[in-house]
């Protein structure tokens, strides 16, 4: 521990320039990418297992006739064209051992999507406030977080960042002794050494795209661009673009007091907001944006755009304070497009009162990499801040160091920005964000009752939708497959015959079941959900496999097999309830837009003694009511688990009686 302390600088300490210890977060004993070579490969599931899992997921969504038809199509596919495609996929996978079978198709899926990235793909996570309230000042926090972000980048690039490892037995694997031994095990077999002590290193191939990266709009398919040589930061304020170097010629970080001086200069610049804010273009349809970008380049903006694209990241400084959690969600999920560049790998957003969050583009990577970055930045900027409220900005000429970017706009570009703004404003206007905190229990009580906290949260969503709409619909839960080389995500399908049966018992047939029977139904849901989660994490879901087979058929110019033309296949991929959870002491709140216009986007976290939900929706759905139904469902589940009898939902009974009279 003492050694690690020495590697950091005390707040306000000078001597940052030069490759001193303060340039890095820490120096890991084990090199960052030590395990990467020997990571296991993502398995291609057996076709018969995939079909079986697919049909299990379809069962609660279809009536008997629909299911028979889907079952027949699935078995025909399994015996015929599906078998051929599967064999081709396996052969292709065997020829590409350096990667995973999902990598190419998944990047293509994201980069070929033409919808705007904001609200459709970009997600957000907001930071908890700094525990020391005086540090939650916009300039102080922006400086400290920027310095910590640069430290993270430098630590990663130097190979000093602690490898990302999932420890099942930390007493054995998360120790100095183990690390000293494993560092001498060749990279080609190091994973096996970790596995022996129940530790699972995770894929870190996405991390390099965190910095100096941008998604560039191109017709039909976008491109990911990274320029690791660039030394500058992009800062947006009031719709104006500023850049300044944060690294010197030798790649050493500027003094924090200099970064503070440059940010102070930007915050005090009273240039008016541009009449045609360029940021709106990144909220456009990708083909529309690609054509406008071509126009921008042809109109003499190449150098300015190059600065934007290659910047380390985008720091967005907003000129207002956060009112409440709903306002916070809107700010971090979309904000004012004039002050965002949604195509950057991430925007670090800091508001007037020092509230901070990250909005990240999704094609380059997943939440695992972003969350690690966020955890490290939060820890570093709060435990060993680079500047304090007493720190004075350096006496430097910021007017020379900071460059304000000017863009030359013709009439077509002005019209394009105006149209983008109208579309963006209309979409944002139609988006609702609502949230609840259920305070009557959380992870601790659920573990005591031997049920999975995640399974209970997912069961509550199923129960709520049934209570609100009298339906069971396609539901998506994201699960990371980062335990494998170039793994991305797999889908857990939380809507099952078990959740349907349990939800109906609670919502429609309460009087027919004893408390003990209801408890057993919850336990059944938990066991099945646990199995689905384990399968997904081990690369044994069905979604990515079926997606890859479809992708293969289309890439070979084959007619789309009947299996994929089944309405039931379209329906299960129209995810009305899309969910994702990430729990971290650095994160206050997270969320994303609905993935379909008649859906809910559910960001949730199960803490020790409370459960939080952040729900997004468009006018086709009532998010507020859905959350009330989730609350009621959680209340009922917790009461049953505590052995209490629950009251019959009078509203449901009334509705049932009304239905029978009609």
C-alpha 218/C-alpha 54 separation (Å) is 35
**Which bin fits 230, alpha (ψ -120 to 50), beta or left (φ > 0)?**
beta
Residue appearing with tokens 């990663």: 156
- Tokens coding 514: 């004893």
Comparing C-alpha atoms, which of 41, 84, 74 is closest to residue 549?
84
- Tokens coding 111: 């980069």
61 close to 54: Cβ distance less than 8 angstroms: no
Residue appearing with tokens 């998506």: 476
End-to-end CA distance of the chain: 72
Side-chain half-sphere exposure of 286, counting CA atoms within 13 A: 22
Residue 334 is a catalytic residue: no
Residue appearing with tokens 């952040």: 614
Torsion of CA 536, 541, 543, 549, to 10 degrees: 130
C-alpha 425/C-alpha 336 separation (Å) is 9
Tell me the C-alpha to C-alpha distance, in Å, between residue 384 and each of 12, 17, 130, 148, 156: 10, 17, 12, 9, 18
**Which bin fits 501, alpha (ψ -120 to 50), beta or left (φ > 0)?**
alpha
Q: Is 338 helix (H, G, I), strand (E, B) or coil?
A: helix
Listed in sequence order, the residues at least 6 apart from 360 whose beta carbon sits closer than 8 Å to its beta carbon are: 122, 123, 124, 345, 346, 347, 370
C-alpha 70/C-alpha 568 separation (Å) is 7
576 close to 567: Cβ distance less than 8 angstroms: no
**CA torsion sign, 67 to 68 to 71 to 72?**
negative
Q: Is 246 helix (H, G, I), strand (E, B) or coil?
A: coil
Comparing C-alpha atoms, which of 259, 218, 261, 265 is closest to residue 240?
265
Instruction: Catalytic residue, from 86, 232, 262, 362: name it.
Output: 362
Please give the radius of gyration of the chain, using alpha carbons only, rounded to the nearest integer. 26
Residues identified as active-site: 362
């Amino acid at each position: 521990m003492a050694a690690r302390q020495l590697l950091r600088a005390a707040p306000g300490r000078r001597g940052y320039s030069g490759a001193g210890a303060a340039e890095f977060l820490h120096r890991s004993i084990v090199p960052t990418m030590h395990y990467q070579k020997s990571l296991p490969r993502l398995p291609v599931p057996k076709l018969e297992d995939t079909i079986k899992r697919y049909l299990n997921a379809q069962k609660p969504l279809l009536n008997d006739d629909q299911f028979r038809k889907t079952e027949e199509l699935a078995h025909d596919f399994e015996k015929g064209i599906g078998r051929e495609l599967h064999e081709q996929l396996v052969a292709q996978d065997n020829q590409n051992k350096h990667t995973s079978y999902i990598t190419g198709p998944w990047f293509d899926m994201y980069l070929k999507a033409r919808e705007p990235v904001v609200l459709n793909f970009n997600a957000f996570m907001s930071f908890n406030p700094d525990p020391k309230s005086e540090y939650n000042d916009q300039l102080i926090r922006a400086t400290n977080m920027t310095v910590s972000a640069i430290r993270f980048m430098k630590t990663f690039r130097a190979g000093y960042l602690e490898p990302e490892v999932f420890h099942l037995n930390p007493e054995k694997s998360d120790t100095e002794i183990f690390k000293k031994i494993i560092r001498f095990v060749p990279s080609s077999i190091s994973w096996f050494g970790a596995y022996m002590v129940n530790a699972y290193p995770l894929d870190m191939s996405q991390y390099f795209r965190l910095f100096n990266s941008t998604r560039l709009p191109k017709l039909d398919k976008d491109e990911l661009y990274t320029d690791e040589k660039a030394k500058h930061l992009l800062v947006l304020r009031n719709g104006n673009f500023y850049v300044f170097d944060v690294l010197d010629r030798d790649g050493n970080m500027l003094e924090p007091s200099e970064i503070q001086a440059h940010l102070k200069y930007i915050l005090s610049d009273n240039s008016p907001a541009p009449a045609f804010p360029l940021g709106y273009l990144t909220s456009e349809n990708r083909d529309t944006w690609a054509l406008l970008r071509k126009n921008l380049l042809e109109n003499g903006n190449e150098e300015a755009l190059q600065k934007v694209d290659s910047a380390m990241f985008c720091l967005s400084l907003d000129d207002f304070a956060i009112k409440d959690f709903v306002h916070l969600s809107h700010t971090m999920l979309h904000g004012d497009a004039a002050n965002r560049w949604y195509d950057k790998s991430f925007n670090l957003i800091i508001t007037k009162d020092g509230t901070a969050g990250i909005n990240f583009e999704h094609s380059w990577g997943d939440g695992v990499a972003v969350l690690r970055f966020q955890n490290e930045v939060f820890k570093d900027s709060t435990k060993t801040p680079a500047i304090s409220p007493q720190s004075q900005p350096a006496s430097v000429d910021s007017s020379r160091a900071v460059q304000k970017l000017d863009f030359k706009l013709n009439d077509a570009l002005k019209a394009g920005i105006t149209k983008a703004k109208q579309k963006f404003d209309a979409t944002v206007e139609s988006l609702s964000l609502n949230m609840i905190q259920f305070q009557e229990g959380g992870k601790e009580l659920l573990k005591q009752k031997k049920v999975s906290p995640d399974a209970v949260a997912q069961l509550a969503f199923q129960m709520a939708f049934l209570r609100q709409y009298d339906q069971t619909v396609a539901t998506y839960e994201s699960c990371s497959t980062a335990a494998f080389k170039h793994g991305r995500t797999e889908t857990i399908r939380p809507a099952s015959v078990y959740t349907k049966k349990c939800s109906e018992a609670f919502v429609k047939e309460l009087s027919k079941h004893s408390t003990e029977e209801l408890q057993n139904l919850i336990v059944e849901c938990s066991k099945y959900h646990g199995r689905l989660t384990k399968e997904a994490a081990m690369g044994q879901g069905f979604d990515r496999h079926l997606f890859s087979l479809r992708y293969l058929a289309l890439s070979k110019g084959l007619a789309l097999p009947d299996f994929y033309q089944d309405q039931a296949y379209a329906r299960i991929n129209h995810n009305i309830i899309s969910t994702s959870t990430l729990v971290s002491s650095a994160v206050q709140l997270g969320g994303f837009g609905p993935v379909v216009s008649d859906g809910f986007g559910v960001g949730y976290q199960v803490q020790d003694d409370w459960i939080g939900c952040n729900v997004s929706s468009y006018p086709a759905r009532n998010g507020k009511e859905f959350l009330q139904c989730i609350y009621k469902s959680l209340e009922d589940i917790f009461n049953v688990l505590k052995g209490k009898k629950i009251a019959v939902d009078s509203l449901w009974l009334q509705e049932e009686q009304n239905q029978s009279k009609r």
